[in-house]
Structure 1
């Protein structure tokens, strides 16, 4: 088998618009794994929010979360690594966002913290399997009070503001942070030297898998490093226009079981 590993995003790539993976995708993944392939979910989600889906798919071993900042075990939830944002860096961004009245959340180990209950928080809760910690204060104060180095910071905003936040924060902080998006209404902020690509490379090295033996599948800007790193970089047809530019190949959309198509027509054919 030419492609020994598939690294795959979850939301809007493997899952449909309702955040469920289809039975067709599930069956294709099972065939690939049965043939000796390693299928790795690589997502921006919290670990606790992706493990139930990984278990539904029948996967074992590692899962990549928080855009590559964490690699964890599916069966135990144990973190193998956790790349956090330094305290001073996180506090600096938090003070800026609080001063501007921007709604955002922070992630500490596998919990997420919100300043207060808001409609944004209620919308986000649909995508996670755990309740938030409610700080009851601006998050810059919470970070300072508790000396927190978060894994991730996430802005929830109307879709038309996403590109502006990415451009502004990237210009202001440069390589200190990686700022991108995973869904149309979020801006994700992680440490600048973290990416899905680095996490995939680390797992490939662990299992003796070469770069050219990897397929990566995604849909968003946070998938671009991983897709560009892989031997075959694939974007689903519903990917954002900017993300599509990084693809070697475009497969059917998430609603049309694009992941199953790649497995059946490429991974299991070579």
Structure 2
């Protein structure tokens, strides 16, 4: 069966290290669209952090979709209609926020409206995330977080501090949440149902596709769920070595327009 749905991660995959879309990637995506292939951005970023890329790649037309928050939100990009929305409870927030204080790491929670932190001394990686995804930062005490629709929470800190904290997270948290390390300084907590993989399964069902007609392209551990469910998993040359073990194909690096190479080699031929 030919591939009809291609999910593409952003950082380390779709864009170069200086956050650009190469001419080769742009044209390959347009060629795929012209042949009826649905190209879907699948990212840990919130929707505000992908709007410019959707515009640049012409992925805001009728029937286009985007997967954000690592699968916590799936939307029709033309209408904004929510296809999938997974959120966390206030009790989830209190438990993870308390754990972050106990482990002495910075933490923030993300909604569609912005980034919320109870850290009076706001961590530099919270500021980095705000800049990266174009979202405002709000200081709120834990008591002020009631009623917020939290899609994911993140422990963020220097890699050595975060790694030390990760080793001390009780097993009950791993049992209750989907926890992924998306960068050396980001550890993300989501509901157990939230993953890029589950989001792609929902989209494939909505589109009437068999999973053999799906492809995912990624580079990091938060891409693993989608790489494991699609029929054609593609890992970037710059990807995590462990991920390459589950890849059907290895494409070029993000600096070498690896997404364009994957589309032309295994989708457009």
Deviation track 1:156-178 (CA, whole Å, cap 9, x = no partner) reads: 11223444544543724233101
Change (3 A) 1:30 1:192: same
2:126 counterpart (108, 121, 129): 121
**Residue of structure 1 equivalent to 2:106:** 103
Residue 230 of structure 2 corresponds to residue 227 of structure 1: no
The alignment partner of 1:12 has SS state of: helix
Counterpart CA distance in 2 for 1:17 and 1:199 is 26
Counterpart CA distance in 2 for 1:43 and 1:172 is 26
Map 1:1-270 → 2, pairs under 5 A: 2-60=2-60, 61-115=64-118, 116=120, 117-135=122-140, 137=141, 140-143=142-145, 146-169=146-169, 171-269=171-269
Change (3 A) 1:58 1:109: same
Counterpart CA distance in 2 for 1:12 and 1:19 is 9
CA-CA distance at 1:228 after TM superposition: 1.1
Change (3 A) 1:205 1:184: same
Change (3 A) 1:46 1:175: same
Change (3 A) 1:185 1:174: closer
Would you say the 8 A contact 1:169–1:179 is kept in 2? no
Would you say the 8 A contact 2:106–2:123 is kept in 1? no
Task: Report the TM-score, using the length of structure 1 for normalisation.
Answer: 0.90
Would you say the 8 A contact 1:165–1:187 is kept in 2? no
Aligned residues: 264
CA-CA distance at 1:202 after TM superposition: 0.5
Change (3 A) 1:113 1:93: same
Q: Which runs of 5+ in 2 are unaligned?
A: none
Deviation track 1:101-157 (CA, whole Å, cap 9, x = no partner) reads: 31111012342212344433322223112222222x3xx3333xx244521001111
The alignment partner of 1:13 has SS state of: helix
The alignment partner of 2:150 has SS state of: coil
Would you say the 8 A contact 1:170–1:178 is kept in 2? no
Would you say the 8 A contact 2:180–2:222 is kept in 1? yes
Q: Which runs of 5+ in 1 are unaligned?
A: none
**Over aligned residues, Cα RMSD in angstroms?**
1.9
CA-CA distance at 1:252 after TM superposition: 0.7
Change (3 A) 1:204 1:7: same
Counterpart CA distance in 1 for 2:162 and 2:16 is 22
